[in-house]
Amino acid sequence: VQLQASGGGLVQAGDSLRLSCQASGRTFGGVTVGWFRQAPGKEREFVAGFFRWNGNPFYADSVKGRSTVARDNAKSTLSLQINSLKPEDAAVYYCAMSTRGILSTLREPSSYDYWGRGTQVTVSS
């Protein structure tokens, strides 16, 4: 399984950004997929994702209300749009896939089996 994230870049605070993730080698059907981010000196944290077949997205409180995550199981793509970007949103964003079926670990990086290389998001104030 390979995951390729794209769409990062340099944006200004208040702008919007849409990230995309393309999977190959496995479809998204029935697996947990998510976006994580990691800023310098900080731990990797969950941003948004879907648990297995559940069509309802999960969000971190830090982005809830200003972001939208979407998945296309047929195309094995996962997207994340974040609006009203803040300097604290700056990080390397990763898409990840978990083949385990434990909802309580959705937000834990250690529960994910496959990771993309990440895409850098820089937010200027």
Specify the pLDDT at position 29.
81
Reported as a single tens digit per residue, the pLDDT across 1-35 is 999 999 999 999 999 999 999 999 988 888 999 99
- Where do the DSSP E strands lie in the chain? 2-6, 9-12, 17-24, 32-38, 45-50, 58-59, 67-72, 77-82, 91-98, 114-115, 119-124
Residue with tokens 């731990």: 43
Rg (CA), the chain: 13
Q: Looking at residue 10, what DSSP letter applies?
A: E
Angle, alpha carbons 22-23-25 (nearest 5°): 150
Reported as a single tens digit per residue, the pLDDT across 64-120 is 999 999 999 999 999 999 999 999 999 999 999 999 878 999 999 999 999 999 999
Specify the pLDDT at position 30.
86
More confident residue, 97 or 53: 97
* 47-59: average pLDDT: 94
Residues written for the chain: 125
